[in-house]
Amino acid sequence: MQQKSQQENAALFAPGGTLRASINLGNPVLASVDPNTGKPVGVSVDLAAELARRLGVPLQLVAVKSAGASVENIEQDKADIGFFAVDPKRAQEISFTGPYVLIEGYYAVRADSPITTNTQVDQPGITVAVGNGSAYDLFLTRELKSATIVRIPTSPAVVQGFLDQNLSVAAGVKQQLEHDAAKAGGLRILDQRFMVIRQAMGVPKARGEAAARYLADFVEDMKASGFVAASLAKHQIEGALVAKRGD
């Protein structure tokens, strides 16, 4: 009976016989490229591998450089599962699990910028660099009323685009901003987050309720068992919190 159940679940998630997982390399909290092997590594990769193991199917990583491209992989049937920030717009096509990690979004400005608080960002004449299609882009598109959003092709390119185009503010993952600010010099991170990003797994809604339930239960098990916490520690990820049930 168990074997049949595994086969049925495998057919839901990997009808082609291989589980194709969309991996976003644009968010270093979730995944990055191992400089020694050139292969994607990170908590999202570990979760995908464990899901494939439980389903009894091979895993294929479909790596992309931005959140927008990762969503497109699902929408265009180039991937069976993915790892995304939960967002109402994306939920039209994707069934999300509960979040497995919480990531904080922050603003960065030049050291001599008059901007010192988040409330000063949403003003006429202020330009805000965000990764195109990222959770920050979707959130700030809804929330900012007066500032102008400038979309940069990928999240890792946000700080360089912010500098090259002489923009007012850069928005993104705190860890990415800190890394890029240290490299560029002359920047500072505002001391208050503007959003908390709920990172979840997702499956196309077309796969049905059974697939959505299985994946939701899988994520809760991965959190409760300590798998997610151990993966974050293994990859030396700081600043990401393991989500609790109900987050």
Residue 30: pLDDT band by 50, 70, 90 thresholds? very high
Phi-psi group of 74: left, alpha or beta (phi > 0 → left; psi -120 to 50 → alpha; rest → beta): alpha
Residue partners of 195: CB distance under 8 A and separation at least 6: 104, 105, 135, 136, 139
Residue partners of 167: CB distance under 8 A and separation at least 6: 127, 128, 129, 150, 161
Shortest CA distance to 69 belongs to which of 134, 128, 130, 20?
Answer: 134
Phi, psi of 119 (to 5 degrees): -65, -20
What would the mean pLDDT of 62-79 be, rounded to a whole number?
93
List the single range of 86-90, 111-115, 122-126, 168-172 with lowest mean pLDDT: 86-90
For the chain, the average pLDDT equals 93
CB atoms under 10 Å from CB of 230, counted, come to 14
pLDDT at 240: 85
Share of the chain residues as helix, strand and coil, in percent rounded to the nearest 5: 40, 30, 35
Phi, psi of 116 (to 5 degrees): -125, -15
Cβ atoms of 176 and 156 closer than 8 Å: yes
What kind and span of H or E run contains 62? Answer: strand 59-64
Distance CA 206, CA 73 (A): 14
Q: Two tokens at 141?
A: 């598109």
Q: What angle do CA 195, 199, 102 make, to 5 degrees?
A: 55
Q: Two tokens at 85?
A: 């920030």
pLDDT at 247: 83
Whether this model's pTM surpasses 0.75? yes
Residue whose structure tokens are 């020694």: 36
Distance CA 178, CA 234 (A): 20
pLDDT at 2: 41
pLDDT at 214: 96
Q: What angle do CA 20, 231, 26 make, to 5 degrees?
A: 55
Residue 4: pLDDT band by 50, 70, 90 thresholds? low
